Structure 1
């Protein structure tokens, strides 16, 4: 996989957790999520990212310019679920945090990042890869073979635990 001139791809490390979280916060803000809500979960998400990057549960990739600025990123959370007709293996992948800074958009960076992640999935024997797409990202994913599914969602209220 080649990148446009002036960009380089590198794996993310635990030291990149803050950068990835900042990109993630920007994704949610651009999607129209209320800024206060995004900020309210940012610290917990950053803690998860640090742990998941360290353990290998989450694997990320970053695209940097010649000055070392990370202008794009994407990651995958590795899952082990019960085999089903959709996937005969336990290994699954959830793509997440696909972000490209506004000044670097329309150069194919998101596509190349997702292709890199898909290659990693294939190398691990993953058959089923899922993600949630923004309206802007949907055409990129569709050209890579992603299709809408019949998944449904229910968000339960957070239980309040009383302490004595």
Structure 2
């Protein structure tokens, strides 16, 4: 395989179209979008959400750029909930939107995106990180330390 250089950057409002493009690809791959009408609804709603959530750090995203093309994306929603024994500050993070386009899979892009998200969570004082995984993603999440719990996976950091 030829050497392809990838940069990993924290997404900002200017990256919304790239985030949405890969989110749509993910949802289509999972069979959650079945028509162009559904796609249009998700695109417009997601754009509105991201414009606000990226600006106020409720949603954090990293993107992988390889030779000028966005090939991978990640997302983290920061949640403040009432404290409990394992998480006395109540700050949690939900990871979603993890996606690498098929021709770039198997090169560690998703792992790097996930690690950047976890590092960001640590910096913010997040205690619990959780997610729902596709079958394809379970192996990666377990390698990083997530453990299955009911229909979710979680990692306490």
TM-score, normalising length from structure 2?
0.86
Whole-Å Cα distance in 1 between the matches of residues 6 and 43 of structure 2?
28
CA positional deviation for 1:113: 0.6
Unaligned regions of 5+ residues in structure 2, if any? 153-157
Deviations 1:39-97 (A, max 9, x none): 4333112210111111221111111112x111111121111111123422221111121
Q: Which has the larger radius of gyration?
A: 1
Whole-Å Cα distance in 2 between the matches of residues 125 and 140 of structure 1?
23
User: RMSD in angstroms over aligned alpha carbons?
Assistant: 1.8
Aligned to 1:23: 22
Deviations 1:3-48 (A, max 9, x none): x851111111101112111111111110122422444333112210
Unaligned regions of 5+ residues in structure 1, if any? 153-164
| Superposition map of 1:103-122 within 5 A | 103-122=103-122
Aligned to 1:100: 100
TM-score, normalising length from structure 1?
0.83
Aligned to 1:135: 135
Alignment size in residue pairs: 148
| Superposition map of 1:71-110 within 5 A | 71-110=71-110
Look up the SS of the partner of 1:88 in the other structure. coil
Whole-Å Cα distance in 1 between the matches of residues 22 and 85 of structure 2?
35
Whole-Å Cα distance in 2 between the matches of residues 121 and 145 of structure 1?
15
Deviations 1:95-146 (A, max 9, x none): 1211101111110100111011111111122110011111111110011111
Q: Is residue 4–residue 66 contact of structure 2 (8 Å, CA) maintained in 1?
A: no
Q: Which structure carries more strand by proportion?
A: 2
